[in-house]
């Protein structure tokens, strides 16, 4: 690949590769690898690496990161709901939209036959390349940049889209779930505070905090969740999700246990 093409791809991916060979392999389809090997047939051991092994690794990384993120974001979901949501996020139907948005077809290294048959726009080839790129990021920079890429480019935009459009996946109203949870614990309702509004009118970003209030309403909040979103509603829902995760992870307080015991005695 030409230097300017690699630079353009890195800009689109939001990641700069230290080893150019790994990203070039991620973009090399088997059709070109076999074609180049045939051209060097006189050298029986000549081998050109394609992206098939990287695609295998990237698929596993995508599943792991997606599973972990969904596990933490949706603590109230049952196993079946989490599996259904993960299946959607890692599906070919969704990943092809990500690959097209990143314009990966422009950077593919294809054999002449695949080029003539429209390989740059084929769903399977584009999705495989996307997963190979995930592996390339992981091999070049480790799990953290791979996780950041998945969350930024694959997971979060789709969850936000589903919430805006009322998708069929099991998306919970976290604010309502939080209200019910706090009622069940005998705790006061949270406070939502808009702390920042930035950006132009057509592309604003809202930052919202949710405060877990003390029982008597005095003193500092026990926990503050903070989230950003393209709408106040989205930010509030994500902040409520954080507070739900916090409640699920903390030891039960004596007050909450007494509250439950009192309700049980009244029955």
Separation CA 51–CA 30 (nearest Å): 7
3-state helix, strand, coil in the chain (%, to 5): 65, 10, 25
Closest to 158 measured CA to CA, from 145, 148, 167: 167
The distance of Cα 24 from the centroid of its chain, to the nearest Å, equals: 24
Residue 68 catalytic?
A: no
The distance of Cα 217 from the centroid of its chain, to the nearest Å, equals: 36
Name residue 229's beta-bridge partners: 206
With contact defined as beta carbons under 8 Å apart, do 119 and 110 qualify? yes
> Strand ranges (DSSP E) for the chain?
191-198, 205-212, 223-229
Separation CA 34–CA 13 (nearest Å): 27
Give the C-alpha distances (Å, rounded to integers) separating 83 from 70, 72, 160.
9, 14, 18
Q: Which among 50, 59, 153, 158 is annotated as catalytic?
A: 59
Torsion of CA 166, 160, 137, 72, to 10 degrees: -90
- Phi and psi dihedrals of 231, rounded to 5? -135, 160
Separation CA 2–CA 9 (nearest Å): 11
Q: Which among 50, 55, 114, 131 is annotated as catalytic?
A: 131
Residue 140 catalytic?
A: no
Active site residues: 59, 131
């Amino acid at each position: 690949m030409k230097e300017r093409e690699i630079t353009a791809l890195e800009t689109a991916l939001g990641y700069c590769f230290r080893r150019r060979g790994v990203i070039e392999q991620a973009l090399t389809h088997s059709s070109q690898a076999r074609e180049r090997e045939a051209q060097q047939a006189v050298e029986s051991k000549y081998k050109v690496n394609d992206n098939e092994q990287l695609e295998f690794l990237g698929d596993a990384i995508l599943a792991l990161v997606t599973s972990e993120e969904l596990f933490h974001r949706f603590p109230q979901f049952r196993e079946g709901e989490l599996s259904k949501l993960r299946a959607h996020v890692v599906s070919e139907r969704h990943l092809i939209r990500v690959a097209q948005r990143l314009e990966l077809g422009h950077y593919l290294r294809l054999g002449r036959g695949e080029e003539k048959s429209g390989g740059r726009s084929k769903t399977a080839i584009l999705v495989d390349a996307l997963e190979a790129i995930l592996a390339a990021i992981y091999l070049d920079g480790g799990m953290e940049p791979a996780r950041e890429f998945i969350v930024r480019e694959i997971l979060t935009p789709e969850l936000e889209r589903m919430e805006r459009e009322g998708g069929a996946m099991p998306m919970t109203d976290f604010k309502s779930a939080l209200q019910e949870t706090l009622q069940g614990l005998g705790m006061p309702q949270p406070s939502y505070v808009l702390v920042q509004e930035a950006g132009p009118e057509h592309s604003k970003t809202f930052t919202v905090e949710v405060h877990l209030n003390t029982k008597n309403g005095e003193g500092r909040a026990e926990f503050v969740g903070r989230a950003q979103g393209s709408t106040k509603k989205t930010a509030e829902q994500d902040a409520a999700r954080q507070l739900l995760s916090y409640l699920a992870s903390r030891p039960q307080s004596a007050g909450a246990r007494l509250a439950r015991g009192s309700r049980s005695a009244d029955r």
